[in-house]
């Protein structure tokens, strides 16, 4: 009896689907893939004479494929200055035509395809960002991105965006970006990026131009990531400029222990980016203890490397900063020309 009922049910489903000219399938529709990360840390700052424990950041991302397209979104809640805020850190709709799968078109807010460092802690090898990442180039863009895979070794990007690290355009013009990425040998990745557009509030003048190059070397136990930035802005009476470079090296000491070091220098001699005419330098060094591999997804590998992100990483670092002019604010509000920080950071990827 039960067998007859199942046969009648399946026959009815088949007739209904045939009438609607649709194929019958009992597969579940693709689900939304949820991943994310959490960051907790403790900091010591010599200049401000402060030390604090912080449950600093929680990022949750959603990935949903729909035919030839997919949606990726990330909400990030961060604690800064004693106050927490939640923002749409990434929101991207990407389309890759199945008849032209070397091309992809994306719209939304995304990481700028520049340099070695990224905004999210799991995608970096150190618990602090360099001066070059903070000042010398954009970290996020909001706009339209076209990506073309010319071959297995060459990729090309074109971007039209609102501007450097802004969600809503602060003027009427747009910022353009072009990038070419080349893999001359399997363990070396080279990138060359140009950015051009106005970045001042309520002004389409003062065009800013940036040339950035980056290099990633992955030799298994040793990873080296470097970037160089050279830029200027058009102004009447002179064109202020800046330049900088940062080099990060990571050495696997054992299966679960690594050592990271970075040298960073940025020359803002006209004070355009930092507000103070100066040369900034920093040296950061520290170990990383890690275990278990994170699941596949957006948080899977350090970009351009085979280093699979750990599910749990404990990273310590000591950072020494110097400036050619007083720049670092101490506990009394006065400016100092040097500072030292110590950081212990726990990153959990889920």
Mean pLDDT of the 257-281 span: 97
pLDDT in the model for residue 261: 98
pLDDT of residue 28 exceeding 60, the answer is: no
- Bridge partners (DSSP) of residue 338 are 322
Q: With contact defined as beta carbons under 8 Å apart, do 322 and 338 qualify?
A: yes
pLDDT of 11 = 43
pLDDT of 183: 98
| pLDDT of res. 7 | 45
Mean pLDDT across the chain, nearest whole number? Answer: 90
Average pLDDT for 132-149: 97
Q: Is the dihedral of CA 347, 86, 72, 134 positive or negative?
A: negative
pLDDT at 5: 38
Report residue 24's pLDDT band, with 50, 70 and 90 as the boundaries: very low
pLDDT value at residue 236: 85
Cα 172 to Cα 155: distance, rounded to the nearest angstrom: 30
CB 58 within 8 A of CB 80: no
Judged by DSSP in three states, 210 sits in: strand
User: What is the DSSP secondary-structure string of 71-128?
Assistant: EEEEEEEEEETTEEEEEEEEEEEEE--TTSTTEEEEEEEEE-S-SS--SSGGGSSSSS
pLDDT score, position 299: 64
What is the C-alpha to C-alpha distance for residues 236 and 206, in angstroms, rounded to an integer? 9
Cross-strand bridge partners of residue 112? none
pLDDT for residue 238: 85
pTM of the predicted model as reported, rounded to 2 decimal places: 0.88
What domains can be seen in the chain, in order of their start residue? 27-349 (2.40.160.10)
Question: Six-digit token pair at 282?
Answer: 């920093």
173: tokens are 């013009």
3-state SS, residue 90? strand
Which tens digits make up the pLDDT trace of 221-251?
A: 999 999 999 999 999 888 999 999 999 999 9
Of the chain, the percentage scoring pLDDT greater than 90 comes to: 80
pLDDT in tens, 296-337: 656 688 989 999 999 999 999 999 999 999 999 999 999 999
For residue 294, is pLDDT > 80? no
Mean pLDDT in residue range 270-284: 97
205 vs 195: CA distance, rounded Å: 15
* pLDDT above 70 as % of the chain: 90
Q: 56: pLDDT confidence band, cut at 50, 70 and 90?
A: confident
Residue 284 has pLDDT above 80, yes or no: yes
> What average pLDDT does the segment 189-215 reach?
96
Give the span between the Cα atoms of 93 and 107, in whole angstroms. 5
Q: What is the DSSP letter of 137?
A: S
Tell me the Ramachandran region of residue 237: left when phi exceeds 0, alpha when psi lies from -120 to 50, beta otherwise. left
Q: What integer is the mean pLDDT of 269-298?
A: 91
CA of residue 168 relative to chain centroid, distance: 19
96, with CB counted inside 10 A (0-12, 13-18, 19+), is: middle
Cβ contact 215:245 at 8 Å: no
Give CA torsion, residues 227, 126, 143, 58, to 10 deg: 180
Measured from the Cβ of residue 62, the count of other Cβ atoms closer than 10 Å reads 17
How many Cβ atoms are within 10 Å of 270's Cβ, its own excluded? Answer: 17
Contacts of 240 (CB under 8 A, 6+ apart): 232, 233, 270, 271, 272
């Amino acid at each position: 009896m039960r067998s007859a009922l199942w046969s009648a049910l399946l026959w009815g489903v088949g007739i209904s689907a045939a009438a609607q000219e649709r194929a019958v399938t009992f597969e579940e529709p693709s689900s939304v893939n949820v991943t994310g990360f959490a960051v907790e840390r403790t900091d010591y700052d010599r200049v401000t004479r402060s030390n604090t424990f912080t449950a600093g950041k929680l990022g949750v991302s959603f990935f949903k494929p729909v035919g030839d397209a997919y949606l990726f979104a990330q909400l990030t809640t961060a604690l800064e200055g004693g106050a927490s805020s939640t923002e749409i850190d990434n929101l991207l709709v990407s389309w890759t035509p199945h008849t032209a799968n070397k091309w992809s078109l994306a719209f939304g807010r995304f990481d700028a395809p520049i340099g070695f460092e990224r905004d999210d802690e799991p995608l970096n090898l150190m618990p602090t960002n360099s001066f070059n990442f903070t000042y010398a180039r954009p970290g996020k863009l909001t706009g339209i991105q076209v990506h073309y895979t010319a071959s297995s070794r060459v990729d090309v990007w074109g971007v039209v965006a609102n501007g450097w690290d802004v969600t809503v355009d602060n003027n009427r013009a747009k910022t353009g970006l072009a990038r070419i990425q080349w893999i001359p040998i399997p363990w070396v990745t080279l990138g060359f990026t140009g950015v051009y557009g106005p970045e001042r509030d309520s002004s389409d003048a003062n065009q800013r131009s940036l040339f950035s190059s980056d290099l990633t070397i992955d030799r298994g136990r040793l990873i080296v990531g470097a970037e160089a930035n050279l830029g200027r802005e058009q102004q009447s009476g002179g064109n202020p400029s800046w330049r900088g470079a940062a080099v990060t090296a990571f050495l696997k000491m054992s299966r679960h222990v690594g050592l990271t070091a970075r040298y960073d220098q940025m020359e803002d001699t006209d004070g355009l980016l930092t507000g103070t005419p100066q040369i900034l330098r920093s040296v950061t060094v520290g170990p990383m203890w890690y275990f278990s591999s994170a699941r596949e997804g957006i948080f899977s590998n350090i970009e351009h490397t085979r280093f699979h992100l750990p599910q749990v990483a404990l990273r310590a670092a000591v950072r020494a900063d110097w400036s050619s002019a007083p720049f670092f604010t101490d506990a009394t509000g006065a400016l100092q020309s040097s500072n030292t920080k110590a950081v212990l950071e726990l990153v959990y990827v889920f």
